[in-house]
Amino acid sequence: MLKLSTSRTLIASSIVVLLAGCAAGNPYGGQQQQQGGSNKTAIYGGLGALGGAAIGAATSSKKDRGKGALIGAAVAGAAGAGYGYYVDKQEAELRRSMQGTGIDVQRDGDNLTLIMPGNVTFGTDSAAISGSFYGTLNNLAQSFNQYDQSTIEIVGHTDSTGPYQHNMTLSQRRAQSVADYLRNQGISGNRMNVRGVGPDQPVADNTSAQGRQQNRRVEINLRPIPGAYQ
């Protein structure tokens, strides 16, 4: 009876811990994240934990039943949370590694966007990556290799100063430079999509110097690979 009670206690404890962890969700949930994302992670992660604990206990020997419940709950809880759990982890890692680099990490539901200001990434009117930015791109490549269940869309943007076609070409070349560098760091070209939109998608007023600086940027959009998580 004592062993059975211990096993049940371990199962209950594992479920409570996993539910609490999932409910806490993303530490950055209040920043650029749609409401309800963490709740979905908690619901599916908790249900997975319940099922996993039961399976883990059932498939373990009587001696290791409590340990099996803990392992089953942890594995199934993560899987049950699906892409929401996955992107929680990736977001936290990107925020940590991009801190102090000038790169802004934004989240919208299960989608992540990295905003790289043009003055940080490139010289004026140039598509050559600044030498000081290589370390940041290396960190990005490491994260993209670790978290490989997302597509990578790289979009170049400019302000409206100068000829339109020149800006379109420059934005494409800058996005391509980032893609080429990431590919050299082991990122599969099949995951990446590259395009330049020139001045067509401003985020600020082009009539001010500050606004134009905000518009000169490269964005990297991370989206779930279709079918990777159900």
Mean predicted confidence (pLDDT) in 114-121 = 95
Is the per-residue pLDDT at 78 higher than 70?
A: no
Domain 100-224 of CATH type 3.30.70.270: no
pTM score: 0.68
Task: Tell which residue, 118, 127, 130, 122, has the closest CA to residue 213.
Answer: 118
Is the per-residue pLDDT at 168 higher than 90?
A: yes
Is the per-residue pLDDT at 171 higher than 80?
A: yes
Q: In this structure, are strands 111-117 and 217-224 parallel, antiparallel, or unpaired?
A: antiparallel
Task: Tell me phi and psi for residue 66, to 5 degrees.
Answer: -65, -45
Radius of gyration of the chain (CA): 22
For 18-61, how does the pLDDT look when each residue is reduced to its tens digit (9 = 90+)?
445 544 444 333 344 443 444 445 444 554 545 554 545 554 55
Q: Is 117 helix (H, G, I), strand (E, B) or coil?
A: strand
Mean predicted confidence (pLDDT) in 211-230 = 89
Mean predicted confidence (pLDDT) in 199-218 = 97
pLDDT at 33: 43
Question: pLDDT tier at 68 (50, 70, 90 boundaries)?
Answer: low
Q: What is the domain partition of the chain in residue ranges?
A: 2-85, 100-224
Q: Which residues of 49-67 are buried (b: 16+ CB within 10 A; e: fewer)?
A: bbbbbbbbbeebeeeebbe
Averaged pLDDT score across all residues of the chain: 79
pLDDT at 73: 47
For 185-205, how does the pLDDT look when each residue is reduced to its tens digit (9 = 90+)?
999 999 999 999 999 999 999
